[in-house]
Homo-oligomer: A and B are copies of this chain.
Amino acid sequence: MNYPRAISALALLGSALILAGCQEKPGEEQARPAAQTAATQSPAGELARGLPPTPAAQSGGKALTYFNPPEKIPDNEFGKLVRQGELIFTDTPTYAKGFAGNGLNCANCHIDHGRQPNSAPLWAAYVSYPAFRKKTGEVNSFEERLQGCFMYSMNGKAPPADSEVMKALVTYAYWMAEGAPVGDTKMAGRGYPELDKPAQEPSAERGAKVFAANCAVCHGANGLGQKASNGKYVFPPLWGPDSFNWGAGMHRINTAAGFIKANMPLGKGGSLSDQDAWDVAAYMNSQPRPQDPRFTGNLAETDKKYHDENCYYGEAPILPRKKG
A132 to B160, CA, bound (A): 21
Question: Is A76 on the interface with B (CB-CB < 8 A)?
Answer: yes
Within 8 A of B (CB), among A246-262: none
A182 contact from B144, B161, B162, B178, Cβ within 8 A:
B178
Most chain B CB neighbours (cut-off 10 Å) among A77, A139, A144: A139
* B184 & A179 in contact (Cβ 8 Å cutoff): yes
Chain B residue contacts of A132, Cβ below 8 A: 76-78
Question: Is A96 on the interface with B (CB-CB < 8 A)?
Answer: no
Report the minimal beta-carbon distance from A128 to chain B, rounded to whole angstroms. Answer: 10
* A131 & B78 in contact (Cβ 8 Å cutoff): yes
Report the minimal beta-carbon distance from A178 to chain B, rounded to whole angstroms. Answer: 4
A184 to B175, CA, bound (A): 11
Within 8 A of B (CB), among A153-170: 160-162, 167, 170
Q: Which residue of B lies closest to A182 (CB)?
A: B177
Most chain B CB neighbours (cut-off 10 Å) among A80, A144, A174: A174
Q: Which residue of B lies closest to A184 (CB)?
A: B179
* A178 & B183 in contact (Cβ 8 Å cutoff): yes
Report the minimal beta-carbon distance from A130 to chain B, rounded to whole angstroms. Answer: 4
* B167 & A141 in contact (Cβ 8 Å cutoff): yes
* B182 & A130 in contact (Cβ 8 Å cutoff): no
Within 8 A of B (CB), among A172-195: 174-175, 177-184
* A139 & B178 in contact (Cβ 8 Å cutoff): no
A183 contact from B138, B139, B177, Cβ within 8 A:
B177
* A139 & B77 in contact (Cβ 8 Å cutoff): yes
A167 to B160, CA, bound (A): 14
Report the minimal beta-carbon distance from A124 to chain B, rounded to whole angstroms. Answer: 11
Q: Which residue of B lies closest to A138 (CB)?
A: B77
Taking A77-B132, A143-B162, A161-B143 as contacts, is the C-beta distance between A127 and B182 under 8 angstroms?
Answer: yes
A174 to B182, CA, bound (A): 7
A130 contact from B144, B162, B167, Cβ within 8 A:
B167
Question: Is A89 on the interface with B (CB-CB < 8 A)?
Answer: no
Taking A81-B130, A177-B183, A182-B178 as contacts, is the C-beta distance between A171 and B76 under 8 angstroms?
Answer: no
Other than the known A76-B132, A174-B183, what 10 A-B pairs have Cβ atoms closer than 8 Å? A78-B130, A129-B174, A130-B167, A139-B167, A141-B162, A161-B161, A178-B182, A179-B182, A181-B181, A181-B182
